[in-house]
Amino acid sequence: MSKIKPKVIEVDEIVVKFAGDSGDGMQLSGSQFSDTTAFTGNDLSTFPDFPSEIRAPQGTIAGVSGFQIHIGHKEVTTPGDQADVLVALNPAALKANIAWVKPGATIIVDIDYFDNKGYKKAGFVEDPLNDGSLLGYNVVKAPITSLSRASVRDLGLDIKSAERTRNEFALGILYWLFNKDLKYGEQYIDQRFKSKPVLAVANKKVLRAGYNYAETVEALRTTYQIHPIESRTGRFRNITGNIAAAWGLIAASEKSGRDLFLGSYPITPASEILQELSKRKSLGVKTFQAEDEIGGINSAIGAAFAGDLAATSTSGPGLSLKGEAIGLAVMTELPLVIINVQRAGPATGLPTKPEQSDLLQALYGRNGESPVVVLASSTPANCFFYAFQAAKIALEHMVPVIMLSDGYLANGAELWKVPEMSELPDIHPPMVEDNDEDYQPYGRNPETLARYWALPGQEGLRHRIGGLEKENITGLVSHGPLNHERMVKLREEKVQRVANYVPELELVGEDTGELLVIGWGGTYGALVSAVTDLQEEGKKISLAQFNYIKPLPRNTKKILESFKKIIVVEMNAGQFAFYLRALYQEFNFIQYNKVQGIPFMISELKEKFNQILEG
């Protein structure tokens, strides 16, 4: 075939979705394309979508794995609502994602898998490529599998290994479609398969074959150019929320002068924090993969007693198991960071899908009066900052801190400006000098109420702590009713005083208006996009995104008083709204909730906000 000279269209943003079976390399292709996008100066936001079943039947909707990426010439805050381009490597991938594709979008299918057997497994009654259901779409029917096999025939690979390169063929088409330089994709492959050079050669050959194929296909007569963001300066990298959280803890360790210890147990979608920190022994990081969730947190409490910056990572089911041990950390007033990467429940639920349903568990899910500080990250990149901040608060206030993330943030990625260590605030744990004659185990800083931290083996500072109620100041076991009440109130007041050391809430928009949108955690990207769009239309709407949950920012009530209507948006049945009502009974909080295991779409948020604004 002769090569066709394409028409190049400049666009500000575009959304691409990769979809296929688990094992088809969709996450790999998405990560590879994301890195290329970052290298070429575009902003990005990604959303990997994994099956909940470990080995779902091949070719079925239950086994579809996806990866969506939103690429922009301007700032990007979400992975996008609907895709401009869908790569569907089998009928199930098409069926599972067609509802999330824009009218007129380009759909690239592997025609080698679109046969009667594939249609039946996916649940199609008729051939979707010929029944008229895809009219209006630009469908590219590419023999991806057979051309991939042909491209590597001379390398002597077995059939299975040859076919596993087909994701690179599809990716090569996209490199051509979006005018991306293949060298970035090839560099990614070399790094990925550096220990298997034959596979590196194979994947690079197939990537280029896909690129060359795209040049000859009449269905692809238009390519797209997304120019880089020229206003950004500094060092940037593509980072996921889990990696960012792990690095935030490492940075806090350096700033505080305390060794970092993570005691944890693998659980989706938090396991990557443990995996990442286990690679950082050269930075003094100590990790312990425990036999269960209880062992993980108890080892961390022991490390805190010994003077480390101690942390544990988990998801909702694991947080349930850690409850009693968190109470022990509250009682002993030891610094501890608990990172909870939320997922859809209850129980095992949908372990690979995001949700915000652990908020009340984080606030109240322990026996007795066990107050802890609760924070929530809101983007993949700022998981770094809030993990760092959780460690700073834990160390300086001698209190357990729960940082809430979720599967959307943990696995999603965006560009992160790498900070200099000098830009991060110092951390000053309340350490005690040897032979301090005034030391008492529960003597407190009068401002923060934090008790002072003496370590085992320090000269003249022997002390005992445990799980029975403490006598104020001395730390001796106490059964006195008045002392118990006093200690309960002291521990709560210590948490509340953290509000004096965190920033006040800042709004996106004016300080007063018709509608205040309230969000927390990972809803930020969709909410800020929806709110700013409506602001540009002249609507009197503002956004308050909460990262500090307990205690709430000092100016929370003042902000609530400044708006006629308030709506709380969250991916649960209304937990933050419930919490706000308990604290501020004089306000009417409208709820907008979504519990589907998928993030909010900008379009649905704008529709809801407009309904309220129009009365």
Per-residue confidence band for 91, with pLDDT thresholds at 50, 70 and 90: very high
Q: Average pLDDT, whole number, for the chain? A: 95
Helix %, strand %, coil % of the chain (to 5): 40, 25, 40
**Nearest 5°: CA angle at 174, between 173 and 175?**
95
| Side chain identity, residue 147 | L
Over residues 173-189, mean pLDDT:
96
CA distance from start to end of the chain? 60
pLDDT at 3 over 80: no
Report helix angle 166-177 to 144-151, nearest 10. 100
Q: State how far the Cα of 615 lies from the Cα of 593, in Å rounded to an integer.
A: 19
How far from 59 is each of 20, 114, 414, CA to CA, in Å? 8, 11, 30
Beta strands in 40-188 (DSSP E): 43-49, 64-72, 83-88, 101-110, 138-142
Q: What percent of the chain is modeled with pLDDT above 90?
A: 93
pLDDT digits (tens, 9 = 90+) for 286-305: 999 999 999 999 999 999 99
pLDDT at 420 over 60: yes
Residue 270's pLDDT is 97
φ/ψ bin of 352: left (φ > 0), alpha (ψ from -120 to 50), beta (otherwise):
alpha
pLDDT digits (tens, 9 = 90+) for 341-360: 999 999 999 999 999 999 99
Beta strands in 450-512 (DSSP E): 507-508
The β-bridge relationship of strands 400-406 and 373-376 is: parallel
256-269 as b/e, with b when 16 or more CB fall inside 10 Å?
bebbbbbbbbbbbb
Closest residue by Cα to residue 574 from 398, 265, 357, 381: 357
Over residues 230-243, mean pLDDT:
89
Residue 56's pLDDT is 84
pLDDT digits (tens, 9 = 90+) for 189-236: 999 999 999 999 999 999 999 999 999 888 888 899 999 987 777 889
Q: Which of these CATH numbers, 1.10.1050.10, 1.10.8.60, 3.40.920.10, 2.40.10.10, describes 7-225?
A: 3.40.920.10
Per-residue confidence band for 322, with pLDDT thresholds at 50, 70 and 90: very high
Residue ranges, comma separated, of all CATH 3.40.920.10 domains in the chain are: 7-225
**Residue whose tokens read 């085992």:** 456
131: three-class secondary structure by DSSP: coil
Residue 219's pLDDT is 81
pLDDT at 4 over 60: no
Q: State how far the Cα of 190 lies from the Cα of 445, in Å rounded to an integer.
A: 55
**DSSP letter at 350?**
B
Secondary structure of 372-428 as H, E, C letters: CEEEECCCCCCHHHHHHHHHHHHHHHCCEEEEEEEHHHHHCEEEEECCCHHHCCCCC
Residue 234's pLDDT is 84
pLDDT at 1 over 70: no
* Paired tokens of 350: 């949908």
Secondary structure of 155-181 as H, E, C letters: HCCCHHHHHCCHHHHHHHHHHHHCCCC
The β-bridge relationship of strands 236-240 and 413-417 is: antiparallel
Strand partners, 108: 87, 140
pLDDT at 513 over 60: yes
Residue ranges, comma separated, of all CATH 3.40.50.970 domains in the chain are: 238-423
CA atoms within 13 A on the CB side of 256: 28
Q: State how far the Cα of 171 lies from the Cα of 208, in Å rounded to an integer.
A: 9
1-12 as b/e, with b when 16 or more CB fall inside 10 Å?
eeeeebeeeeee
- Contacting residues for 94 by C-beta, under 8 A, at least 6 apart: 19, 86, 88, 107, 109, 122, 128
Q: State how far the Cα of 59 lies from the Cα of 56, in Å rounded to an integer.
A: 9
Closest residue by Cα to residue 65 from 26, 121, 30: 26
Over residues 326-351, mean pLDDT:
97
Q: State how far the Cα of 224 lies from the Cα of 177, in Å rounded to an integer.
A: 6
CATH 1.10.287.610 fits 238-423, yes or no: no
Under CATH, what is the fold of the domain 507-613?
A: Rossmann fold (3.40.50)
